[in-house]
Amino acid sequence: MNFKLPFLFFSLFLLYPISGISQNFYIDADIRPRFEYRHGYGNLFPNDAKPAAFVTQRSRLNLDYNSEKLQTYISIQDVSTWGDTRQILPSDHNDSFSLFQAWAQLQLSDYFAVKLGRQVISYDDQRIFGGLDWAMQGRSHDALILKYKSTGLTIDLGAAYNQEEPYLTGNTYAIQGFFSYKSMQYFYLKKELGSAQFSILFLNNGFQKFAGENNDQPDGVYNRQTTGSYFRIPAKRFQISGSAYYQFGYSSAQQELSAYQFSLLGEYKLNNMQYGIGLEILSGTDRESEGINKSFFPLYGTNHKFNGFMDYFYVGNHANSVGLNDFHGKININTGKLNSLLIKAHYFTSNASLGEDHEKYLGTELDAVFTHKFSKDIILNLGYSHMFASENMGILKSENHQNTNNWAWAQLTISPRIFQHNFTKD
* Per-domain residue ranges of the chain: 23-43+61-165+174-423
> In the CATH scheme, what architecture does the domain 23-43+61-165+174-423 have?
Beta Barrel (2.40)
Query: Comparing 78-92, 155-169, 280-294, 353-367, which segment has the lowest mean pLDDT?
Result: 78-92
Contact of 285 with 319, CB cutoff 8 Å:
no
| pLDDT of res. 139 | 98
Closest CA to 296 of 278, 279, 277, 313: 313
CA gap 147, 145 in Å, rounded: 6
- Report whether 174 contacts 207 (CB < 8 A): no
Burial (CB count <10 Å: 0-12, 13-18, 19+), residue 405: buried
The residue-averaged pLDDT of 344-353 equals 98
* Mean pLDDT, residues 202-224 taken together: 92
Residue 13: per-residue pLDDT: 46
Q: What tens digit of pLDDT does each residue of 47-65 get? A: 999 999 999 999 999 999 9
Return d(Cα 54, Cα 45) in angstroms, integer.
Answer: 17
pLDDT category of residue 165 using cuts at 50, 70 and 90: very high
pLDDT over threshold 90, residue 406? yes
**pLDDT score for 289:** 84
Q: What percent of the chain has pLDDT over 90?
A: 86
Average pLDDT of the chain is 94
Element (H or E) spanning 10, and its range?
Answer: helix 5-15
Residue 11: the pLDDT is: 53
With beta carbons less than 8 A apart as the criterion, state whether 62 and 81 touch: no
DSSP annotation of 339 reads E
CA gap 282, 244 in Å, rounded = 10
* Strand ranges inside 251-377, DSSP E: 256-270, 273-282, 324-334, 339-349, 361-375
| Average pLDDT rounded to a whole number, residues 110-138 | 98
Q: What is the pLDDT of residues 301-330, one digit of tens each?
A: 999 999 999 999 999 999 999 999 999 999
pLDDT of residue 425: 60
